[in-house]
Chain A
Amino acid sequence: MSSIAHQDVELDPLTKLVGRTAFWRCVSETLLNPPDAADPPALLAVDLDRFKMVNDSAGHETGDGVLQRVAKRIRGAVPADDIVARISGDEFAILLRRGGGAKAMALQLLDLIGRPYAVRGQIIAISASVGVAISPRDGVDADALMQAANIALHQAEVEGRNRHKSFEISMQDRANLRFALERDLRAAIALQQVELRLAVATGQFVLEYQPIIHLGSESVVGFEALLRWQHPVRGLVGPDSFIPLAEEIGVIGQIGTWALRCACKAAATWPTIPRPIFVSVNASPLQVREGQGFVKAVADALSESGLAPDRLAIEITESAVLEDSGQFLRTIRDMGVALCVDDFGTGFSSLSQLSQFSFDRIKIDRSFVREIGKPTAALALLQNANSPSKRSQAAWMLRAIAGLGSGLGITTVAEGVETHEQENVVRMAGVTEAQGFLYAKPVAENMVTQLVETFGAQSRSQGASA
């Protein structure tokens, strides 16, 4: 029996399991002295999926009741001389001194933890993710083995949770890459803050601006600010590669605040004649969730730059709208800032929500525009009157969203317009504005004024010739 039985180990008062420190000591000792050389020890890292939701919706007392029951279910399934620990809030770890059955144990735990709970008069359903690491293959000491189990756990979560994953070397490579990217991202954010303080250009983040065109007058009405990360060694890193990481490690607020300040400062220098050009800045759902902090970031960016509030638009996804329980978006709109729903048509917004939040702009998801002009000859042959092609569905959706916008007095914007055919369909559908490579790629800040003038000259000359 391991040393844990002999020592006076302090147990977690809620679950009566050992804590992280005692567990680590136990793993170390067991790895030095495995009971069966032919069947080496294994480690299981268990994380409850979206447990925060249980606490949020059912209350902490119910959450604690679930944790107690989870602990008991795990303890009941694990052999008596093996160790079960509560590592943190909803993380558990298991040391199997004979690790041969680790995979079967993982499956059994997923089953047991996934069964319903009756707590404080309510039925609660949760699931779990499990990472498995076997010694000595996946780690020779406690640190390495626990790290391997956690990497496998992270992989199980990435692949959709409610599953188990055994550690593989390729996961380690991916984890290393992610770790390096995280280090570089943190460095870039630090540099950016120096830049803001000292007003020097040391930063790796830059904003590019893509014009938004009014389809009626064919003039530029505003620009969407797009974040770019130019790393000295990595080169240009796409937002898809670093925004999710920034959200995960909790630095999205800093990046978002920088983008707001930088975009407002730039837009304050843009032309106001014949009409003021606005700037549209993206905000992550996690930024919006910061509530009062986000409102302050917007207000600070405006006051620092002196930009009129009606020349700033904030773009948010449908999910951010749904999460804004504190009505912070309304506060921002009351400041005079325009609100814009991004990627509309892919989430679950209802008409009632749209009218309730009083948006100024709807950006129609680019997937609808993309369907227009796709080669559909093969499809057309197959299709019959009862099954409209994706293409005609897309056109129908564009019409529906444009109609919805004009009915509610909301400007609609088609994103990703690349061809004249797409522009025609969008225009015929009644969409108000468009954005895409057909008009211009995102440009550097110093190109903005020139771009506005070029479009102005074009629309004037077209107006004259008409």
Chain B
Amino acid sequence: MSNEIYSLAYVSRSELGKNGNEDVDTQIASILQSARRNNRLCGITGALLFSEGWFAQILEGTQEAIEEIFETIQADARHSNVTVLHFHPVSERSFPAWSMAYAGANEGARARAAAVQVLPSADEIAVQSMGQSFLSVLRDYIGRQETGLGAAAGIKTS
């Protein structure tokens, strides 16, 4: 297997808080912990953005490592409707580390994210050059999806 670095990005729907009694903050903390550990072991860097309803993740690493971690991610029941945005080789890593940030609009959730050591905003993710624009694409995507969800919720309560 070559040492070429690949980048894979996907978006998915969050199933957090839908099954079981475990609260969302605990689940977020557990995702952060296991992802940090696993990604460090296999040399994966990138960023995971989440909101109340959505996940968006960029992964960088060798093809083998990405394909392996991607299978683990697919087996995870905490999300669904995975759409891959890209999977291709890149000339260099855009993310020096792996980090996870809250990208929703809820101020309370932002504060709680900080409490479980998740970055309170995508702006705090360490990123270089090319990564910046893609990160903002993902942030916008989550923002738009959340607005859509918000409107639907508004109809329900009115």
Binding site for B on A (CB under 8 A): 69, 72-73, 76-77, 111-112, 115-123
Contacts and interface: CB of A to CB of B under 8 A. Distances in A.
Interface in B75-98: 75, 80, 82-84, 87-89
Interface residues of B, number: 17
Given A123-B84, A123-B87, A118 B66 contact: yes
Contact of A118 (B8, B80, B89): B8
B134 interface: no
Given A116-B83, A118-B67, A122-B87, 20 more contacts: A69-B71, A72-B71, A73-B74, A73-B75, A111-B80, A112-B75, A115-B74, A116-B10, A116-B82, A116-B84, A117-B74, A118-B70, A118-B71, A118-B84, A118-B87, A119-B67, A121-B87, A121-B89, A123-B84, A123-B87
A47 B131 CA distance: 40
Contacts of A76: 75
Nearest to B86: A123
B82 A121 contact: no
A367 B75 CA distance: 47
A227 B15 CA distance: 55
A194 B134 CA distance: 70
Interface in B84-129: 84, 87-89
B57 to A, nearest CB: 13
Contacts of B83: 116
Nearest to B69: A118
Nearest to B74: A115
Contacts of B66: 118
A162 to B, nearest CB: 14
A123 B84 CA distance: 8
B6 interface: yes
A362 B84 CA distance: 42
B74 A112 contact: yes
A116 B67 contact: no
9 contacts: A73-B74, A76-B75, A116-B74, A117-B74, A119-B67, A121-B63, A121-B89, A122-B87, A123-B84
> What are the nearest 4 A-B pairs in CB distance?
A118-B70, A115-B74, A118-B67, A123-B84
* Residue from B10, B80, B82, B84 whose CB has the most chain A CB atoms within 10 Å: B84
Contacts of B87: 118, 121-123
Contacts of A120: 63, 67
Nearest to A76: B75
Nearest to B4: A121
A119 B6 CA distance: 12
Contacts of A121: 6, 63, 87-89
A236 to B, nearest CB: 50
B65 to A, nearest CB: 11
Contacts of B75: 72-73, 76-77, 112
A116 B83 CA distance: 8
B77 to A, nearest CB: 8
A122 B6 CA distance: 11
Nearest to A115: B74
Interface in B131-157: none
A256 B75 CA distance: 47
A402 B8 CA distance: 50
A73 B10 CA distance: 19
B26 to A, nearest CB: 23
Contacts of B6: 121
Nearest to B81: A115
A297 B80 CA distance: 51
Interface centre among B71, B80, B82 (most CB of A within 10 A): B71
A190 B8 CA distance: 56
A77 B77 CA distance: 10
Nearest to B59: A118
Contacts of B70: 118
A202 B70 CA distance: 62
B11 to A, nearest CB: 12
Contacts of A119: 67
A123 B89 CA distance: 13
B154 to A, nearest CB: 29
A117 B70 CA distance: 8
A123 B80 CA distance: 17
Nearest to A73: B75
B84 to A, nearest CB: 5
A119 to B, nearest CB: 7
A72 B10 CA distance: 21
A115 B87 CA distance: 15
Contacts of A115: 74, 82
Contacts of B63: 120-121
Contacts of B89: 121
A403 to B, nearest CB: 43
Contacts of B10: 116
Nearest to A125: B84
Nearest to A65: B67
A121 B74 CA distance: 16
Nearest to A72: B71
B70 to A, nearest CB: 4
